[in-house]
Structure 1
Amino acid sequence: MTEVQKQEQKVSDLTEVIAELEKIVEEKPNNVMARHHLGLVYRKAGRVEDAIKQLEKTIELDNQSMESMINLGAIYFDQGDTDRALELNEQALGISPTMAEAHVNIGLIRQHRGEVEQAIECYSRAVQIDPKLITAWINLTSAYTMNEEDAKAVDAARQAVTLEPDSPMARNNLAVALYFNDEFQEAQRNMEKAEELGYSVDPRFRDALQAKLG
């Protein structure tokens, strides 16, 4: 099967799933689980407005639906509505204060807004709750780097690589953190590993690192 055929198959599969879920929702409008999954599939199919409507309705029907809040928050974040994204993730945390994913999402929103100190607090809370959550370590690395806390960035990046040695992003983040911590040889090794794993390294970073290595 060619790549085009695979993509066509995916579209066909999504269409079938959407049709099945729409039928369930039509027959049982208060079926929270069906609406939640329909929202997720709509998003996957690129039908963002439909996804928003279903997830908003899911939360209206069940104000404890944390997964719907998290997923809807992600959509609003992608659309640039950080206020609504923040509101939804905070709503999820109000239900479950130890939901590490929500802490990460709030950290990402804070970091996007330039509120780096607050972002670090959110990511740090997330890794306290779930030390194996690699996205928290990756984002914490980035935030520490932005805040020029280079040694802490290296420590966070090493944690991410320890959890997933073959994560291209974790390897690249470690390379960048090592560069700013003046550990250029190890930075080069991790940059090359990131590329080997398929990461598209920023040419400006490569050039800057090569200049340091002479």
Structure 2
Amino acid sequence: MSVKLSMKFKSACIVGSVALGLLSGCSSTPDKKEEKAKAVETTEAEPKTSAQELFIQGNKKLDEKDFPAAIALYDKALERDDQRWDIYMNKAIAHSAKQQFSEAIAAMDRALATGGDKEAQVYFNLGNIYQNRGLYAQSIKAYKTSLAVGDGQSIDTLVNLGGALALMREYDKAVETYNHIRSLAPDDPRPYVGMGVVEQARDNNKLAVEFYEQAQQIDPDFEQAWYNHAAVLADMKRYSDAAQSYRRYLELAPDGPYAKRARASLRRLKSKN
């Protein structure tokens, strides 16, 4: 089962640039002492790039998946202001994307210590980091804390909580979570996919297919529903239907996380049709 990582960035406005005045000199051949004084004055007048500007640049690199550049920019931002929980949080996300778990957790600890302990999104992203590492019990705790700190109705957090519970084989609790999401967001296809995953794990393939098809009806472009649908149909030896769903997945996500597996599965299915 795949649980989608959501990266939440704190948005803020870019600080306006500072206008510089030109320095004028009376002599065309200043002595060395005057030259040195002007150099110092000019250096002091030059503005530093602010922590906020560096943070925004880092977020851009994070969006572009240039994680080393993002980390370097966040480090520079923290040199300007080492009390920004949002910078530490996004630095942790970048480290996690590079599979640098220790560094990610260290950055998250700093985020919590600098005011992030009052922010639901910090615990949400901490849960994602734990989940990517396979530490599902810790991710569940972080997601629950995120819900407690926030309004308790974050759909993204609830979806990932349901996924973590399913991965821990706490199927009844996962189903309870998915049903809660369905009551809050009936037009969201993700809880239906989650229910399908639970039923697959319980060997209720027919019911799993029904949930995946419900997700497809809600959002025909939700790629995960098509991939999971194809996989369970293949298990049921409905090879032609499985191939059709794999092809639909590849139409929607030719470079998606399961594209390579989908193409390999299609090749195998050709020999069975």
TM band (smaller chain): 0.7 to 0.9
Matched, 1:82 2:136: yes
- 1:66 positional shift: 1.5
Amino acid at match of 2:109: E
1:168-205 CA deviation, whole Å, 9 max, x = no partner? 4311322345577897764553244335554424749x
Give the secondary-structure state (helix, strand or coil) at the position aligned to 2:117. Answer: coil
Point out 4+ residue stretches in structure 1 off by more than 4 angstroms: 148-152, 176-188, 195-198
Q: Distance in 1 between matches of 2:180 and 2:68?
A: 40
Partner of 1:51: 104
Backbone CA RMSD of aligned residues: 3.3
When you count helix as a share of all residues, which structure comes out higher? 1
Structure 1: 5+ residue stretches without partners:
1-9
Asked if structure 2 preserves the Cα contact closer than 8 Å seen for 1:157 and 1:177, the reply is no
Matched, 1:143 2:201: no
Q: What is the percent sequence identity of the aligned residues?
A: 18
Q: Check 1:181–1:64 CA distance in 2 against 1; reply closer, same or farther (3 A cut).
A: farther
- The structure having more radius of gyration, on CA atoms, is 2
Q: TM-score, normalised by structure 1?
A: 0.74
Q: Check 1:183–1:77 CA distance in 2 against 1; reply closer, same or farther (3 A cut).
A: same
Q: Distance in 1 between matches of 2:148 and 2:246?
A: 40
Decide which of 98, 104, 114 is 2:153's aligned counterpart.
98
1:93-144 CA deviation, whole Å, 9 max, x = no partner? 1122112222222222221122222212112222322234443332221112
Give the secondary-structure state (helix, strand or coil) at the position aligned to 1:29. Answer: coil
1:155-174 map, 5 Å: 155-174=210-229
Give the secondary-structure state (helix, strand or coil) at the position aligned to 2:173. Answer: helix
Structure 2: 5+ residue stretches without partners:
1-63
Q: Check 1:179–1:39 CA distance in 2 against 1; reply closer, same or farther (3 A cut).
A: closer
Q: Check 1:100–1:175 CA distance in 2 against 1; reply closer, same or farther (3 A cut).
A: same
Q: Check 1:168–1:105 CA distance in 2 against 1; reply closer, same or farther (3 A cut).
A: closer
Partner of 2:124: 70
Amino acid at match of 2:132: D
Asked if structure 2 preserves the Cα contact closer than 8 Å seen for 1:35 and 1:55, the reply is yes
Partner of 2:80: 27
Give the secondary-structure state (helix, strand or coil) at the position aligned to 1:30. Answer: coil
Q: Number of paired residues?
A: 201
Q: TM-score, normalised by structure 2?
A: 0.60
